[in-house]
Structure 1
Amino acid sequence: MNDRVSTSIADGIADVRLTRADKMNAIDPAMFEGIGAAIDALAERADVRCVVLSGEGRAFCAGLDMASMQAGGSGTSRTRNDQGSILPQHVTWGWRNLPMPVIAAVHGVAFGGGFQIMSGADIRIAAPDARFAIRESYWGLVPDMAGFPIWRGLVRDDVLRELVYTAREFDAAEALAHGFVTRIADDPHEAAMTLARTIAGRNPHAIRGAKRLCNMAHDADPRTMLEAETDEQVKVIGRPNMMEAVAAHMGKREPVFVD
């Protein structure tokens, strides 16, 4: 890990924070590398049941650090990983493809690349005064950090086009109405941690199976989805964690699962 991202893990929850607070967590080459490394490290952690992603300081992420990018180039490889992503896409798409759920806690601003990174989370909780923008056209660019394959499952096509073409800012209420934000909370990080604790208290194998199904749901045909549901159920039904869930509920106690 580098000095752009910190990860702390406790009780099955990874608390991941963007730590370039003096620049409102704007993305420079080191930030790309730090986020990518954090995602890759979490992908290997069987003991992590949920991830909370947030930004330190005044903002979640202000988008690309244009001065840094112009001075040093993108600094990122164009080599695609096994998910089909290059690094600037992996910092968004990678959250969606982690085996465990990811909750983004958003405050301040989520502009441009920061908005795309936020979009990669399974669930997005925003502060009431948070501001958003698909900012790329303001700089003469197009969104290219995996936003499009995610947004098509979140928002109406004409709404997306208007926001992409104009680069205008919008508030948390509008983001919620469009589907970019799951809900609004006065303290999004605390709300995200509370939700993460609930998720971490469920059978981790069932949650991972459910995420795989959710990731398929937008694109797969019905027959494929029917087969996938059955396959995922076979992996958990009658297994120790499922039996522990039943025993715990019957005994009115907290379950103790094995990762």
Structure 2
Amino acid sequence: MARVSVEYENHVAHVTLTRSDKMNALDDAMVKAIIAAGQEVAASDARAVVLSGEGPSFCAGLDVASFAAAAGRDNEAWLNARDYHDANEMQEVALVWRRVPVPVIAALKGAVYGGGLQLALGADIRIAASDTKLAIMEMKWGLIPDMGGMVLLPHLMRSDVLRQMVYTARPVSAERGADWGLVTEIHDDPLSAARALAEEIAGKSPSAIRAAKRLIDLAEHAGRQDVLLAETAEQLSLIGKADQMEVITSNMQGRKPDFK
């Protein structure tokens, strides 16, 4: 059974987790399917991505029974392997979406727990239903968040609330998640809102959008001098080029841009 579907419409990639009978929990097949979907979208001409889950929940985290069944696996070799740039397979579930060169918008609902939350953190923007529950759940199983969460979470949350969520594994509401930096926006219909936002972004200059994502990603970890130099380099790659000229022309003529 397929774990993830990928469909394209109007330059937007719609990536959907399709294991709703298990609350889209992450088994080995789901992990591989999510990474493959991210790689496919990264190589496509999509200008924005909507990431969502079928059924009542976005993703309830690891399918613990499934991974427990893999008792013969050499965990040290598996987790130490850097098969995806600087990441192992489990970390790439989230980080592949940061490697996608265009904005990724996650539509959240129901349970967004553990690995499911870390998957959502890989998105640029998270829109959640009011009944969404978010948890850094790993401590419940005697583990720590290790799917890229510790790369992503400190950029979003204050240290004290991050520590509280990690130490307790208690779920928090969408409202509290928004207060703490995990949720961008709360919406009655997060999937419709995510699609509308993706379509809006897809209508912008594709080269400028990609440059902006590269620059923001760099600014989150690089020093001042490197960021300033990158600003200049990215801007020079845009000024006077076809996409920018199309924006200028369309704005002057009051029409929608037509990017090639």
TM over 0.5, yes or no? yes
TM-score (norm. length: structure 1): 0.96
Distance in 1 between residues matched to 2:72 and 2:200, nearest whole Å: 39
Aligned pairs (5 A) from 1:25-174: 25-45=24-44, 47-73=45-71, 77-78=78-79, 79-174=81-176
Note if contact 2:84-2:92 (Cα within 8 Å) is conserved in structure 1. no
Give SS of 1:214's match.
helix
Q: CA deviation at 1:74?
A: 9.2
- After TM superposition, the runs of 4+ consecutive aligned structure 1 residues lying more than 3 A away are 73-78
Note if contact 1:29-1:74 (Cα within 8 Å) is conserved in structure 2. no
Q: CA deviation at 1:83?
A: 2.7
Distance in 2 between residues matched to 1:93 and 1:115, nearest whole Å: 12
Aligned residues: 256
| Worse overlay, 226-235 or 66-75 | 66-75
Q: CA deviation at 1:133?
A: 0.5
Q: CA deviation at 1:81?
A: 3.3
Note if contact 1:53-1:104 (Cα within 8 Å) is conserved in structure 2. yes
TM-score (norm. length: structure 2): 0.96
Q: 1:190 to 1:113 in 2, by over 3 A?
A: same
Note if contact 2:106-2:125 (Cα within 8 Å) is conserved in structure 1. yes
Aligned pairs (5 A) from 1:168-183: 168-183=170-185
Give SS of 1:141's match.
coil
Distance in 1 between residues matched to 2:216 and 2:197, nearest whole Å: 18
Q: Residue type matched to 2:146 in 1?
A: D
Unaligned stretches of 5+ in structure 1?
none
Q: Percent identity?
A: 48
Aligned pairs (5 A) from 1:177-196: 177-196=179-198
Aligned-pair Cα RMSD in Å:
1.3
